[in-house]
Amino acid sequence: MSGSHRAAQRKVDRQMHPDLSPTLPVIPEVCAELWASAARVLDANWVGDHTVPSRTLYPHQWSWDTAFTAIGLAYVNQPRAWRDLRSLFAAQWPDGRVPHIAFDPDTPEEAYFPGPRFWNVPAYAGRPARSSTGLVQPPLHALAAWEVYRHAAAHGADAVQQARIELDRLYPRLVAQQEYLGDRRDAGGGGLASIVHPWESGLDDSPAWDEALAAVPADPGLLDRHPRRDLALSDAAHRPTDTDHARYVGLVLDYQAGEYSDTGLAERHAFVVECPGFNAVLATAELALAQIAGVLGRPSEARRHRERARDVTAAIGRRLWNPETRTFHARDVRTGRLSPAHCVSGLLPLMLPDLEPDQVDGILAELRSERFGLPAPSHDRTAREFDTHRYSRGPVWINVNWLLRRGLLVHGRRDEAEELRRRLVRLVHRNGHFEYFHPEEGGGLGTSAFSWTAALCLDLLADRSAPAYARAA
């Protein structure tokens, strides 16, 4: 192996092995209550073969929620972590896509909109009709599988043996997911996956989509025919507007009318966007697959995954970097324009070890600027569109900041990573396991007892520098 390849491998190792304890953590007394409460949330949201994000607002299984939840379950219940991932991938489509919602057949249609009848997905791969949606979410699952495997040793030899079996079972499905996104979803032809709906980004109403969404008709009649149910459970000021929701419904109907095909997306679909956050997760998944392939004794496949990660990283730099703002922005594939909005999704390529040094410096400067800070809000604090309460237009999300923390560790910013970890733990300790948080006052927003907040708290508390939090609390 050449010196440059060894250096690249060391970068991958740092990416996949951040400074988290390889054994079950010893939790300082001040954190024990938070650890116990997080575990209780995950227990309460377990429904037999998967974990729901919340018992009230989100009663089905969500895709990248499952990945984040598995990362936390790795510490407290390995069998559930693997069961969660298996349950989700049982809903995988024959083309490799992993749907953003796998519907629970025992949950009534009226419990969530848009529910199974609205999506009207045909039967596939032995699954009944209307059992999932046709959209996807960021493919964090390979990283989740790797993290669960990495912590198996703390649970004994049987857990390690089972984890090896689970990796072997999941690996081809994870590869198929990556191939679907890298091939069928490369609508722009530049080596990046496109999202066809804001819901696919994980940052549903981010201002990053505003320009692209402006070209999508907002038919208010759609809300008369398909009334919202989220507002019965959440404050309307915390949720996407009716105008945006009408566009969201219209985009689903348009994609559905094409039988969820990805052929000719840029020519026929009204929303086709390359998101820096989504593609950063895509590249990170390739790095995780390289580690998994190594464990499974497939060195040639591990090399291919590392090469693919470098290719996606380079494409993010070519297509989504704005040298004037020195940060990453979403690209509208239909127009070729970069969004002018400064959003947290533009910071997520920090997770990638092969990012150009100038791009790393640009992200760090953006993160330290008055627009963001730690923990990072979902949107530029100085922007006109910044909203302290509304979903992805300002509030702080634990999962996004967890990803940013990984990026800080990948690039050796240990002090900032530790400061972010402590602030996130304090935020949840003081306010509870909420879906998201007020970016200035810190209060909990959205639904309470939220699974990924609880799960990622376990991971943050398990960091071997957790005693530092005990001293600072």
* Structural contact between residues 58 and 134, judged by C-beta atoms closer than 8 angstroms: no
**8 A C-beta contact, residue 107 and residue 59:** yes
**Whole-number pLDDT of residue 217:** 84
Choice among 65, 204, 274, 418 that is catalytic: 204
Question: 77 Cβ partners below 8 Å, 6+ apart?
Answer: 42
State the burial class of residue 165 (Cβ atoms within 10 Å of its Cβ: 0-12, 13-18, 19+). exposed
**Tens-digit pLDDT profile for residues 433-465:** 999 999 999 999 999 999 999 999 999 999 754
Determine the pLDDT at residue 227.
Answer: 67
What was the pLDDT predicted at 91? 98
Q: Among this protein's residues, is 435 annotated catalytic?
A: yes
Query: From CA 88, how far away is CA 84, in angstroms rounded?
Result: 6
Q: How far is CA 274 from CA 194, 280, 293, 327, in A?
A: 5, 11, 28, 15
Q: What is the pLDDT of residue 71?
A: 97
Type of residue numbered 416: E
Note the pLDDT tens digit of each residue in 164-221. Answer: 999 999 999 999 999 999 999 999 999 999 999 999 999 999 999 999 999 998 877 7
Catalytic residue among 166, 332, 387, 435: 435
HSE of 63, CA atoms in CB hemisphere, 13 A: 26
* Residue 204 among the catalytic residues: yes
CATH architecture of structural domain 3-472: Alpha/alpha barrel (1.50)
pLDDT digits 0-9 by tens, 238-264: 667 778 878 999 999 999 999 999 999
Q: Give 54-84 pLDDT, tens digit per residue.
A: 998 899 999 999 999 999 999 999 999 999 9
Note the pLDDT tens digit of each residue in 273-307.
999 999 999 999 999 999 999 999 999 999 999 99
Domain ranges in the chain? Answer: 3-472
Provide Rg for the chain, Cα atoms: 21
Q: Are 109 and 72 within 8 A, CB to CB? A: no
Q: What average pLDDT does the chain have?
A: 90
